[in-house]
Structure 1
Amino acid sequence: MRIRVPATSANLGPGFDSCGVALNCYLFVEVIKKTTAWQVDHSYGELIPNDENNLIVQTALKIAPNLLPHQIKVVSDIPLTRGLGSSSSAIVAGIELANRLAQLNLSENDKVKLASQLEGHPDNVAPAICGDLVIASGNGDQVNYVKHYFPDCQLIAFIPNVELKTSESRDVLPADFTYSDAVAASSIANVMVASLIKGDIVQAGKMMEQDKFHEIYRSSLLAHFADVRQISHEHEGYGCYLSGAGPTVMILAPAKATAIITQKLQALDQTAKIEVFQVDREGVQVF
């Protein structure tokens, strides 16, 4: 059995903790055989556990505590702590591992609810499960979500060679908003989502860049953010936003602009990784 989970890009600017899109970059988990103790084969080094303390196994055991140990092999193209849903993909993989090995027959809704509870919010885990664009709202035990087709475009990721932990990125956010600020921020998010549903990537991209929830605070942690957005503006990008908690910055662009944008981004920082993604429409899959 082989489980495939897509990377995700969350927030999309003003869709803070509620919007995300699945990308064609994947975590793979292959179940090898039953063993006397959990064995997780991977190439991440000593920082990532290779036993029952691995996040994938921990998640599976939370869902099915009596699950028998197995040897599993984990291969991932998703960079760690870069704002592309690496931890969410591990949680989703763990849920699917438990679902299959324990024959739980979990529905999509069950998986989204469990993953949101474990992760704390649905913006990454929901699209990793469902694929495509997902707009979700998590309120305690209740999670409501809508999957929709994300407009065709290239998603160009500027991935700096630095880590930025979500906890560090959240520390710079304000504890509260004034009523007027909250209304302004939510109205921007509403128009952004409506534009995506309509298929208007041009207007959606413009609204992504007007976020008031988090990017204006987190941009102080990212020396490259303004430069990446400027490159997008100069070369026909639809919109540019901070992916998840960062440090990755995502540009939505037409195919014809991909070559020049990637060239300019690489020139901006030779140590950064530039990736061009398409939208994953399927979500988690088992082969």
Structure 2
Amino acid sequence: MRVRIAVPATAANLGPGFDVLALALELQNEVEAERTGEAGISVDPGPGAPPELCDPARNLVVRAYTAACAELGAPADGVHIRCVNRIPFRRGLGSSAAAALGGTLVAAALNGAPWDEHSIIDFVSGLEGHPDNAAAALLGGLVVVTPGAPAVTMDVPEELCAVVFVPDLELETALARRVVAGAFTRADAVHNAARCALFIRAIATRDWPTLRWAMEDRWHQPPRSALYPAMPELIAGALEGGACGAALSGAGPAVIALVAGAPEAVQEGFMRAASRCDLRGRSFVSRVRNFGARVDLSA
């Protein structure tokens, strides 16, 4: 039996929606697995993967697979897993969520697990520590996650695309999350709650100019700018290039801009801002992917 999983990159928070909002992008990772009939688990981490991921014990796809098998009461041995990595590692584009979801879906598919979407999101969130990227990767589109309730998703109109700037540096998610703890006031909470609602309305009604204000954040981006001083400059550069709105993607360091016009001008705005900050990196353009992970199972 062989299974192939395709899991999209995701951009979380989108400004005000810390641990609440996320959307799926066209860029995707793939995980292929097949039963070998041999002892143990072998892994090919794929091109571009850090060398330590050759070790099954340190590979998040394998760790998620074995954890899911344990949850299902199924044996994990006798499987070879191969990864194809297109999502940049440790850049705030959901690479860890893609790995955790990919491994979980491999276990579910190979063992015929009757898990529903809510159960899968809950399980992967337990591995990740937060549900937003996992929900967007599984469901696609724009997702809103609420503790204790199923995640909801909505399609994003095709005329809106994302331009993402990916710098040549890493920002540790755990550190980026620690600096956020206790860093907001009641006024900040009201500001972000209002803008979350405004963001969803703007997407639903195609009110693209409103995204400029709807993607403003006063909760997690200000403290993270101490770790990543170029972030405000990159956001400003995207807006100068004509973006509807822009924000840090997840914990960063990638920055995402939502664009209803010419994406090339926004890419140029990103690059000018990066040059001012003496920051190297690249940008890419992506549609929002209005469908989530795909599973292909064959004998």
Tell me if both proteins adopt one fold, taking TM over 0.5 as the criterion: yes
Describe the superposition over 1:159-183 as per-residue Cα deviations: whole angstroms up to 9, x where unpaired: 1100001111122224264434322
Spell out the pairing of 1:71-90 with structure 2 (5 A cutoff). 71-90=80-99
Residue number among 139, 163, 169 corresponding to 1:162 in the alignment: 169
Q: How many residues align?
A: 282
Distance (Å, rounded) in 2 between the aligned partners of 1:36 and 1:251: 47
Residue number among 20, 39, 60 corresponding to 1:36 in the alignment: 39
C-alpha displacement of 1:207: 1.1
Q: Is 1:11 paired with 2:9?
A: no
Distance (Å, rounded) in 1 between the aligned partners of 2:127 and 2:108: 15
Q: Is 1:240 paired with 2:246?
A: yes
For structure 1, the residue ranges without an aligned partner over 5 or more in a row are: none
Q: Which residue of 1 aligns with 2:232?
A: 226
Describe the superposition over 1:211-266 as per-residue Cα deviations: whole angstroms up to 9, x where unpaired: 1111111122223223222222222210010000010011111242x122223433
Q: Is 1:112 paired with 2:102?
A: no
Q: Does the CA contact (< 8 Å) of 2:52 and 2:58 recur in 1?
A: no
Distance (Å, rounded) in 2 between the aligned partners of 1:176 and 1:215: 10
Q: Which residue of 2 aligns with 1:190?
A: 197
Distance (Å, rounded) in 1 between the aligned partners of 2:112 and 2:77: 12
SS of residue matched to 1:183: helix
SS of residue matched to 2:52: coil
Q: Is 1:62 paired with 2:71?
A: no
Which letter maps to 1:159?
V
Describe the superposition over 1:4-28 as per-residue Cα deviations: whole angstroms up to 9, x where unpaired: 0000000010010011000111110
Residues 104 and 32 (structure 1), Cα distance of their counterparts in 2 relative to 1, 3 Å cut: closer
Q: Does the CA contact (< 8 Å) of 2:41 and 2:76 recur in 1?
A: no
Q: Is 1:259 paired with 2:264?
A: yes
Task: Name whichever of 53-62 and 118-127 sits farther off.
Answer: 53-62
Distance (Å, rounded) in 2 between the aligned partners of 1:40 and 1:3: 15
C-alpha displacement of 1:60: 1.6
Q: Could you say what the CA RMSD is over the residues aligned between the two structures, in angstroms?
A: 1.8
Distance (Å, rounded) in 2 between the aligned partners of 1:229 and 1:156: 11
Q: Does the CA contact (< 8 Å) of 1:60 and 1:97 recur in 2?
A: yes
For structure 2, the residue ranges without an aligned partner over 5 or more in a row are: none
Q: Does the CA contact (< 8 Å) of 1:205 and 1:252 recur in 2?
A: no
Q: Does the CA contact (< 8 Å) of 2:208 and 2:260 recur in 1?
A: no
Describe the superposition over 1:28-87 as per-residue Cα deviations: whole angstroms up to 9, x where unpaired: 011244132111102314222432442112112222122233111101100111000000
TM-score norm. by structure 1 comes to 0.91
